Structure 1
Amino acid sequence: MFSSSLKTASLRAWLFSFATCITFTATSVLAEDTKLSGTLVVVNKKADTVSFIDLQSKKIKYTLTTDKGPHELAMRADGQVAVVTNYVGGNSLTVFDVQQAKKIKSIDLSRYPRPHGVLFLKDQKKVAVSSENSNSVVIADIESGKIVKALNTQQKGSHMVALPESSARVYTTNMGSNTVSELDVESGVLLRKIATPNVPEAITINKDGSELWVGSNEGGLLTVYDLKTQSEVKQWQGFSFPYRILLTRDEQFAVVPDYKNDTLDVIDVKNKQKVHRIDFAEGTGPKGVTLHPNDRTLFLSAYGKNKVMAIDILTGKIVFELPTGDGPDGIGYSSHILP
């Protein structure tokens, strides 16, 4: 009897110790996550501004104006320069010095209206910008402010861009033609048109350029293509508006915010299996996504709530939330600390 009681007491003590250990570990991780440093630059579509948010204080430190109708944002690899596309009425790029939190210049794209998707090329001096109304990809030199060239997608409604690590080719989702254009950046030649389910918008490609991911709005589909074999690898249903697709830097995970479903899917890239789906409150409107350098903390703009969420993609938990301006969308991370 005594022996049994002793064993029970010992078991309880062990369980308490184990639980305490788990709680301590979880608290330690959470504490570490909440001490992330650096700067988020977030596009506020409804306000024609960008918010510069300090991650340590979790407050908006500066609000700067863009041209009219800003949508997307590209951050240079060193985190010092951010480029915003002014899609609705602006027809321009606004370039910001992140470290000094100031506007550098505006680049006129009136010949290439409705500029939307934007990414830095490998040289980190030029950006590739999709122009929806001219059905082209514009290569713009950020330092000189000049247009280097325009690549004709030969399709309608070229909306978003994707670049492999080499930047030798650029890919656009063509919402009006239900295709993806593959273009040679140097020559400007259209290499191929890839048929997709209706109204493709979201797009990304892996580093070596072998695997293309596309989100289609009309059928709520997410499709992965093998570009070497020109075949479909995997397709998921059950989306409503798969707004963006982002791969982690180590390419282990893909994250897909669904603007209309108010969800975020995390997918195992290698096994092509969903890890989990995170459900948000109705009206959250998840849109823009960017990663912290730890490659597991995701910053997600909540368009309907005027905030940014920091999410642990492994656990699916929201670590903290940050204020933004009106209608946050495009977002980028910089390691620079604001003055």
Structure 2
Amino acid sequence: MKILVIWRLLTVGGVNAGWRNRAIYFKKQGITTDFLYTKDLGGMHMMEDVAQVFLTKDKDKIHQIIQENQYDAIIVVDTSQAYTWLKETNYKGPIIIEARTPEITKLKQNLQGKEKVNPEKFIVPSDYQKRVLSILLDQSKPIEVIHNSTDTLFFRPLDLEEVNRSNEPKVPEGKKIVAYIGRLDHRKNWRLFLKIAEMVSKERRDIEFWVIGGDRSVDKDLFEEEWKKKQLTDVVKWFPVIPYHQMPTIYAKIKHSGGCTIATTRAESFGNTFIESMACGVPVIAPDISSIPEIVVNGETGYLYRENYIRGAAEHIYRIVDQPHKYEKLSNSARERVEKWFSLSQCANKYIETLKDVTKGEGE
């Protein structure tokens, strides 16, 4: 079987992390996955070594890609232009729409024109996202929940001797690391993160915050300005570019410091960094909103705080770093939850069954 995934943004975020994992697994099952993007936001290094990647805005080239490759199925991820391309090329194969955007107004925009292609099925990564999408669809179209997954052989707890501690970022002696991982934009709510770090810095001297990523983010300059204005550069260390393959080492440094990851997002349809962190045995602190309670179990794999509640988030940080006797239990439970619900084999196999269903077994 040969499939094409169309998404406009080639990022280092969760959508591409999830699809990278799937493409590797699919290949072992005899399924070739090609990717078509229109804009590179720093994610090429994630994808180019695992699949054929097309990066173009040229409509004629896009038409050629669709027409010449004879795909058994095409998956469109939050890209409304794709419906026009598929209509113009008269593509006759099955089309799946992945609806990933958690904000309903943006999701509605991303679905504009979907009637041009008559999709076979909609796929979402969480029950929360299924509820959001259901508001915009008539009930005749099936919506299937297939969780994002991660490779638990790659994202795993590393022993201290497996970690190169001389490489940046370095863990200062006696510091616990609390890490914000991902984009710097309105939805990820980095301003709330800086407020949490500011509060903690006034109360503690044994906690250092890391920001991992953000080099190509829309709010990069705004973040840098606010970070300096709040005089947090000694407390919050920023590492704008960390290659994807180095992330298990980052998580290991956080874990061995006795720290955690933290999210301040306003909404998530899933959240790959949560399962990557948990797979590496690192507890997660996140707001109790949208899909997050489906992933992070409060008190078992991390802690959930009330949305925008700075004091609540800070108290959860202290709860983790001040109770080392409970840390290992949180860590082990986090790893076990990922292995049970979000393993690559389990989630990717479900996707393969869906592909076989919509293609009626063609391409096997």
Q: Which TM-score applies when normalising by structure 1?
A: 0.26
Going by fraction, where is helix more abundant, 1 or 2?
A: 2
TM-score, normalisation: structure 2: 0.25
Q: Bigger radius of gyration, 1 or 2?
A: 1
